[in-house]
Amino acid sequence: MPIRLIVGLGNPGAAYQDTRHNAGVWGIEVLARQWRLDWHRESRFQGRVAKAEHPFSGWLLCPETFMNSSGRSVAALAHFYRIEVAEILVLHDELDLPPGVARLKQGGGSGGHNGLKDLIAQLGGPEFWRLRIGIGHPGPHQPVASYVLHRPSKEEQAAIDLALERGLSVFPLVMTGQFSHAMNELHKPLSPP
């Protein structure tokens, strides 16, 4: 199925814009700039939306609900435009990947990510695609909530930006339904500098 909706997860407001949990928002904003799309607020979808015609025909959505309620925004747009769960691609931060790594996959559980948990509940299934953007993990005895709601170090930010660049570089393949090729490209090891 073709992708018809791309979503960037995060928390709204200036206090959160530079925090690790907003890596999905960072990615979708880069994508909108690359594709020269204009955002506008859409109250019925509780978020900012942009309509794309090229390189794919569909929507970009940046929910303006808090992360734990992201599914309401995504489900509202998906239901309105009759977009199937498998036609959705979600960009989100991933604790289980180190900064600098991005992975593409379809389906799976929430992995404790409250935004994904709400998406699965509101959409009625986990079959959406995910671009998982590594932010690293604070360690087994550190509070995860505090970690994701703080800014990354300069080194981590540079690595996350690189992961976003690599992740977005395979979107031409994703948009034409070449998911296996996109995953092969994105998941191959980086060449040493």
User: Which residues are catalytic, by number?
Assistant: 21
Are 46 and 71 contacting, i.e. CB atoms less than 8 angstroms apart? no
Residue 23, CB-side half-sphere exposure with 13 Å CA sphere: 39
Pairwise CA distance, residues 85 & 79, whole Å: 10
